[in-house]
Structure 1
Amino acid sequence: MRIFIVGFMAAGKTTIGRELATFLDASFVDLDERVEAAFGLPVAEVFETRGETTFRAEEARQLAQCGRFARLVMATGGGTFCSLPNRRMIGRLGLSVFVDVPWETILSRLPGKRGNRPLFRAPEQALALYSARLPHYHQADMTVRPLPDESPASIARRIAAGLGGAT
């Protein structure tokens, strides 16, 4: 069983993914952290010095390597699921779960973090990116909409319950 958490930046993919992995007794991998480790640079610096194309190629390479895990929860990058080859790979490897968080919530979570988000320089541009990515995210196998003030552990339990026999 491999679960891939997808969604926009600041949706809570990593936090929820860690909780879900603990709940399911699975390994947890943050795809952005794997890419950072491969380059020895933060994601923002990879974008600045190597470009988005290089970042996306390494992201796909790291994604492909997760097939070696029998039980895995992976928090993907915000753009990972927007690539058709990545979506297909995720579909072959496991199940995708979209963490569907409203734009207003995402915006409220980012004030101090915009500098390390290479695709979030101005709210208007980020909103356009969010809107463009939504149709891709909606292709996930499952969607979870966190309730206001719902804990990551509660969200993870709802995801696990929704997976039913898949775990």
Structure 2
Amino acid sequence: MGRRHQAVMAWRLKKTIVMVGMMGAGKTAVGRALASALRVPFLDSDHEIEEAAAMSIAEIFERDGEAFFRARETEVIQRLLDGAPCVLSTGGGAYLAERNRAAITARGTAVWLDADLDLLWSRVKHRDTRPLLKTPDPFGTLKSLYEARVPIYAKADIAVKSQPGLTVQNMADRVIAALAERDDLLEKT
């Protein structure tokens, strides 16, 4: 094993790390790599909702609307925060709700994957699984969402800047370095 991986194995996670940010920021991919490196479970709130509903997020949005989805999302996040420390990936809109931010702050730590608009667009423009982008002008919609959401994401406990060309593992390493700067998140074992 490499030196970096050996150093990571010497940590114990004290609180759930909640990945927040825009669609396409890498919350799921980076979250999985982070969980693997820290040897803790990885959970995804959207996946948990889909499993419980036996429907995709897009189908839930279409059938029941965004308000119904957001209520289920809050219930799932609350439940997952009550479990053992893990890495939790949330949907792009989850952190916007004050009740979700309060729960995350009280029982976990929010890590914002801060990707700029061009990087996000390059990652989401060819996907049809983003219900909020099913509009006549998906880039314009993404831009509006970005401009409205960034000030809220900036309230996260930790921000990690994403850049084009970084691998998922590079981003996970950046998150670990940011976590290690605080004494309430990781404990050397």
Which range, TM-score by smaller chain?
over 0.9
Kindly report the root-mean-square deviation, in angstroms, between the aligned alpha carbons of the 2 structures.
1.0
The aligned counterpart of 1:26 is: 40
Equivalent position of 1:160 in the other structure: 176
Q: For residue 129 of structure 1, what is the aligned residue in structure 2?
A: 145
Paired position in structure 2 for 1:4: 18
Specify the alignment match of 1:64 in structure 2: 78
- Which amino acid is 2:129 matched to? N
**Which whole-Å deviations, capped at 9, do the CAs of 1:120-163 have from their partners, x for residues lacking one?**
12211221011101111000000001232111112111211211
Unaligned runs of 5+ in 1: none
Cα deviation per residue 1:52-95 (whole Å; 9 max; x = unaligned)? Answer: 11100110000011134222101110000000000000001110
Percent identity of paired positions between Structure 1 and Structure 2 = 36
Residues 58-137 of structure 1: pairs in structure 2 closer than 5 A:
58-113=72-127, 115-121=128-134, 122-137=138-153
Out of 154, 157, 181, which is 1:138 matched to? 154
Question: Which segments of structure 1 move beyond 4 Å, counting only runs of 4 or more?
Answer: none
Unaligned segments of structure 2, at least 5 residues? 1-14
Taking structure 2 as the reference length, the TM-score comes to 0.85
Structure 1 or 2, whichever has the larger Rg, is: 2
1:34-58 residue CA offsets vs partner (Å, 9 max, x unmatched): 1111111110010000111110011
CA distance in structure 2 between the aligned counterparts of 1:76 and 1:97, rounded to whole angstroms: 11
Aligned residues: 166
Distance 1:144 1:57 in 2: 28
Measured in 2, the distance between the counterparts of 1:53 and 1:74 equals 22
Query: Could you tell me the TM-score, scaled by structure 1's length?
Result: 0.95
What amino acid maps onto 2:90 in structure 1?
A: T
1:103-131: CA deviations, max 9, x gaps? 00111112221x21111122112210111
Secondary structure of the structure 1 residue equivalent to 2:91: coil
